[in-house]
Structure 1
């Protein structure tokens, strides 16, 4: 009987714990809409080489708070974040398009 209980007790130590978090306060007036991504100002950057300077310029122009490079055949999460700029690049490291989310 004990030999059947030991694996269960050992696995009990492997279960993840869930951290609870208090809900955050609503944004203050005047901050609504800030950080929302806009791709219209980025049209002239399509075809540019991917670089840290390009990333900084794209973030500044788009108004996004976060950014990620997406290379061909990359796995990416499907979560939608209105404050994130997605930069698709080709195998040669050139920007092919910008997307928000």
Structure 2
């Protein structure tokens, strides 16, 4: 009886090994631009004072080198960062 059970288990295992497995290719997530940062990349290198003449989406943050900001991630929030020299260094969504 044990030989029959063992043979059956081996047969089922062998058949299961032959079953094709559907493998979907892994694609990296596209870089999201939910806040529209791509349209503001021209600000990089400009003085921070250039921002005063512009209108930005509600919730936009202007972040200085020593400014504290919340750590919550909101991909729809525009963030404009400037360095110690007063020039804009980064425009991104977070």
Query: Among 61, 70, 88, which residue is 1:95 paired with?
Result: 88
- How far apart, CA to CA, are the structure 1 residues paired with 2:48 and 2:66? 17
Gaps of 5+ in 2: 1-33
Structure whose alpha-carbon radius of gyration is higher: 2
TM-score between the two structures when normalised by the length of structure 2: 0.53
Question: Comparing both structures, which one devotes a greater share of its residues to helix?
Answer: 2
Q: Deviations over 1:34-91 (max 9, x none)?
A: xx4021112211111113114x2xx2xxxx4321111113221101223321111011
- The unaligned stretches of length 5 or more in structure 1 are 1-35
Structure 1 partner of 2:48: 50
Looking at structure 1, the residues matched to 90 and 66 of structure 2 have their Cα atoms a distance apart, in angstroms, of: 15
Give me the whole-angstrom Cα distance separating, in 2, the residues matched to 1:83 and 1:65.
10
Give the TM-score normalised by structure 1. 0.50
Runs of 4+ in structure 1 deviating by more than 4 angstroms, as ranges, are none
Which of structures 1 and 2 has the larger relative contact order (alpha carbons within 8 angstroms, sep 6+)? 2
